[in-house]
């Protein structure tokens, strides 16, 4: 609404013109002996034109306000109750102001003072007229704005269906990354080596591996998870990477317990870590530096950029999926930054789960 509401004004003018034409035709049918010009320029017609204009404009903004206040398709009934309740009082207010204007209430040229004019104006008003006008306004708005709300309702159903589809796709991507045969094969190889070298480390490795699979199964049906749960899971995953790559990877986790508030997409942090591992060279001579930290309402995963020469054809699919899911769940977008030496992804942290 920062821009001039030119479109809404034009629509209100057209709507009021249509209503006025209708009343002109009705008046002409009731008074055949009265010339058209007298009917058209009668003060009541001008009054009706103002009624239509301000009522349509007011209801147009009212419908948008109610739609934004109750965006979920589940709130359709609540949305209609609030709309028609406010509509009743809005109609009475518009009729009152227009009638006051035509009565000369705001005309300082009249000899009577304002309290006297206001007292006289109040006595001239009829409750039945206001109630009748409100009923007519209800009927008209029920047709026009009922259709608007129904369209918004269908749009949100489509949006929620798209969100569900994206969630299913994300679940598949996450499961595919975690349950990938190569991931399991590499993990078992590391475990096999640790059993001989260090049974204690092998036991820790097995515990972390079981935590990963259990977490995937527990969170796969959720749209959002707490940042704290995601960090606990990711620490288990990072422990596996440390045991697997040893000095080839350096992990810097800069998040204290006070920064564990909020929610993010399930398995999104792990997916970003997995992307860093998958797309960059890891070696003892050239270790991969992985930094995870929180800044304001974003969780950042940052890694040194040392790209592999050959990438898989499906590279970037997981990141794109995260971006699409955040576009549905939040107004905040995923932040991407790439320089010659660093690659960074910022995940928005959602303060609360909106039902």
Tokens at 3, concatenated: 């821009």
CA angle 29, 33, 35 (to 5 degrees): 85
* Element housing 91 (H / E): helix 76-102
Q: Rounded to the nearest 10 degrees, how much is the dihedral formed by the CA atoms of 324, 326, 253, 287?
A: 10
Average pLDDT over residues 180-197: 68
Q: Which of 21, 72, 10 is nearest to 45 (CA)?
A: 21
List, in order, residues 6 or more apart from 51 with CB less than 8 Å away: 16, 19, 94, 95, 98, 133
Compute the distance between CA of residue 216 and CA of residue 180 in angstroms, rounded to an integer. Answer: 13
Q: Are 236 and 211 in contact (CB under 8 A)?
A: yes
**pLDDT band at 341; cut points 50, 70, 90:** very high
Compute the distance between CA of residue 50 and CA of residue 64 in angstroms, rounded to an integer. Answer: 21
- Identify the residue whose tokens are 């935590």: 211
304 phi and psi angles, rounded to 5 deg: -65, 140
**pLDDT band at 166; cut points 50, 70, 90:** low
Single pTM value for the model: 0.49
The pLDDT tens digits of the residues spanning 288-337 come to 999 999 998 899 999 999 888 765 544 455 688 788 778 877 788 899 99
Compute the distance between CA of residue 260 and CA of residue 254 in angstroms, rounded to an integer. Answer: 11
Tokens at 339, concatenated: 């320089």
- Identify the residue whose tokens are 């870590």: 273
Compute the distance between CA of residue 111 and CA of residue 116 in angstroms, rounded to an integer. Answer: 10
Average pLDDT over residues 52-56: 78
Tokens at 90, concatenated: 């809005």
The pLDDT tens digits of the residues spanning 59-85 come to 778 877 887 777 665 676 777 788 778
The pLDDT tens digits of the residues spanning 80-132 come to 788 778 887 888 788 788 777 767 665 655 656 767 777 777 777 777 767 77
pLDDT at 1 over 90: no
Q: From residue 243, how far is each of 73, 203, 320 by CA, in Å?
A: 48, 12, 29
């Amino acid at each position: 609404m920062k821009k001039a509401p030119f479109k809404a004004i034009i629509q209100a003018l057209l709507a009021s013109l249509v209503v006025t034409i209708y009343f002109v035709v009705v008046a002409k049918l009731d008074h055949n002996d009265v010339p058209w010009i007298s009917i058209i320029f009668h003060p009541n017609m001008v009054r009706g034109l103002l009624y239509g204009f301000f009522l349509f404009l007011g209801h147009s903004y009212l419908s948008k306000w109610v739609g934004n206040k109750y965006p979920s398709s589940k709130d359709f009934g609540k949305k209609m109750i609030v709309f028609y309740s406010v509509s009743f009082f809005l109609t009475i207010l518009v009729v009152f102001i227009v009638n006051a204007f035509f009565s000369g209430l705001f005309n300082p040229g009249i000899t009577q003072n304002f309290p006297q004019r206001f007292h006289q104006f109040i006595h001239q008003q009829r409750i039945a007229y206001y109630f009748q006008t409100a009923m007519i306004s209800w009927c008209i708005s029920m047709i026009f704005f009922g259709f608007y709300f129904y369209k918004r309702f269908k749009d949100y159903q489509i949006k929620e269906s798209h969100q569900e589809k994206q969630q299913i796709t994300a679940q598949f991507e996450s499961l595919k990354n975690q349950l990938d045969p190569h991931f399991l094969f590499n993990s078992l190889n590391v475990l096999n080596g640790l059993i001989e070298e260090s049974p204690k480390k092998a036991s820790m490795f097995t515990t972390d591996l079981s935590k990963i699979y259990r977490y995937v199964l527990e969170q796969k049906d959720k749209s959002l998870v707490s940042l704290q749960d995601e960090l606990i899971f990711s620490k288990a995953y990072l422990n596996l990477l440390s045991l697997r790559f040893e000095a080839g990877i350096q992990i810097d986790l800069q998040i204290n317990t006070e920064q564990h508030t909020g929610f993010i997409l399930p398995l999104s942090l792990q997916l970003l870590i997995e992307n860093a591992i998958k797309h960059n060279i890891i070696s003892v001579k050239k270790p991969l530096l992985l930094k995870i930290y929180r800044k304001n309402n974003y969780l950042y995963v940052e890694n040194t950029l040392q790209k592999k020469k050959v990438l898989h054809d499906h590279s970037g699919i997981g990141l794109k999926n995260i971006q699409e899911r955040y576009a549905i769940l939040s107004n905040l977008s995923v932040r991407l930054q790439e320089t010659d030496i660093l690659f960074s992804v910022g995940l928005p942290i959602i303060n609360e789960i909106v039902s």
